[in-house]
Amino acid sequence: MCSWITEKATISGHGKGVADWLPLTTANVYYDHPASAPLDHALIIDFVNEAAGPGARVSVELSAQSAQDLLRAIQAALATGQAQHDLTN
Amino acid sequence: MLEGMIAETVGISGHNGDVIQAYYARPVVAGSVPGVVVIHHMPGWDEWSKEVTRKLAYHGYAAICPHLYSRLGPGRWDDVAAAARARGGTPDAQVVGDLAGAAAFLRAQPDANGKIGTIGFCSGGRQAYMLACKLPSLNAAVDCWGGRVVASSDQLTEQQPVAVIDMTKDMHCPLLGIFGNDDANPDVGQVNRIEEELRNYGKDCEFHRYDGAGHAFFAVDRPAYRPEQAVDGWKKVFAFYERHLQTGAANPTSDRS
């Protein structure tokens, strides 16, 4: 679409990366005790490729408010014409 | 207090004879010592769980913390914990086998006094309660804010098929419970129900409930840490172990049923 339109959300949390791009097959989403973020509970998303082993994981641990703000940003990005076109085709 | 200790990662024989990792810390002391199996919390076999293991050694106990997600490695402790969650957690039967293996490892050490206790946190609190019902040779168990000891039928899974509270009649050893009154899992009502169940079956139990504390208030690396309540809670733990692990004869009951 080449619009440069970007939705931003201010967030609080921790993220875990990997050295290079990784094919992902599953997102595990849960609200529980984080491993790293300084929170008692966090909305955690593990993007994984199980076939590649436990280290093949991109993870985010977000405060509940951050997760809601991120959700709104994702929904706003998906409300664009191109995304709606892709979702219905 | 015993400032000299040896701490290291070892391989132990767990459920079905599988070799799993365990963190083992024991005091350097003349004479025999009791053992404690430390059960890590749901986030995994993390640095804090190993600090707890060393704390027990400092207080005169040979302590071992088996890595309950070990089979899903190799890998970082948090990655294998995520893999365990993706599979719905570890099966209860496997957990009991791993913890029994850790207890056997401690009992087999030449300086063991023959007495073994356990302590578990969060999901490990539930597992400590379960172990007290499943391992007849255990001498003392500490449940720190174990969640889902009380579980409704829709919360039971293939991995955790039985509500642990329903195992209470089989509890073989004294139980110490440490809880925060602000905790949502277990909440005050659930803690009261667990204690009532234990008393109905005439079990030896001691519960301590702390105001101003919620879940995981011993965990020094989390916002939930409450120093005043945690310091008092640890005193309760060590007084309990002093009574049940440091004196008297070891539990002669065989683990074979």
B86 lies in some domain: yes
Residues of B in contact with A16 (CB under 8 A): 78
Total domains in chain A come to 1
A22 lies in some domain: yes
Q: Could you confirm whether B183 is annotated as catalytic?
A: yes
A31 lies in some domain: yes
What sign for the dihedral angle of Cα B206, B218, B245, B129?
Answer: positive
Q: Which of A78-87, B15-24, B108-117, B186-195 has the lowest mean pLDDT?
A: A78-87
A5 lies in some domain: no
Q: Could you confirm whether B133 is annotated as catalytic?
A: no
Predicted ipTM of the assembly: 0.87
CATH number of the domain where residue B128 is located: 3.40.50.1820
Q: How close is the nearest chain B Cα to the Cα of A33, in Å? A: 6
pTM over 0.90: yes
A6 lies in some domain: no
Total domains in chain B come to 1
pLDDT single digits (tens) A56-83:
999 999 999 999 999 999 999 999 888 8
Domain limits at B194? 5-245
In order, the DSSP letters of chain B are ----EEEEEEEEE-GGG-EEEEEEEEE--SS-EEEEEEE--TT-S-HHHHHHHHHHHHTT-EEEEE-TTGGG-SS-HHHHHHHHHHTTS--HHHHHHHHHHHHHHHHTSTTEEEEEEEEEETHHHHHHHHHHHH-TT--EEEEES-TTSS--GGG--SSS-S-GGGGGGG--S-EEEEEETT-STT-HHHHHHHHHHHHHTT--EEEEEETT--TTTT-TTSTT--HHHHHHHHHHHHHHHHHHHSSSPPP---S--
Domain limits at A77? 13-82
- Say which of B65, B122, B144, B173 is annotated catalytic: B122
- Choose among A26, A28, A35: nearest Cβ to B44: A35
B127 lies in some domain: yes
φ, ψ for residue B203, nearest 5 deg? -80, 150
A8 lies in some domain: no
A88 lies in some domain: no
Confidence (pLDDT) at B257: 42
Instruction: Using a pLDDT cut of 70, give the percent of chain A over it.
Output: 99
B257 lies in some domain: no
DSSP class of residue A38 equals: S
A48 lies in some domain: yes
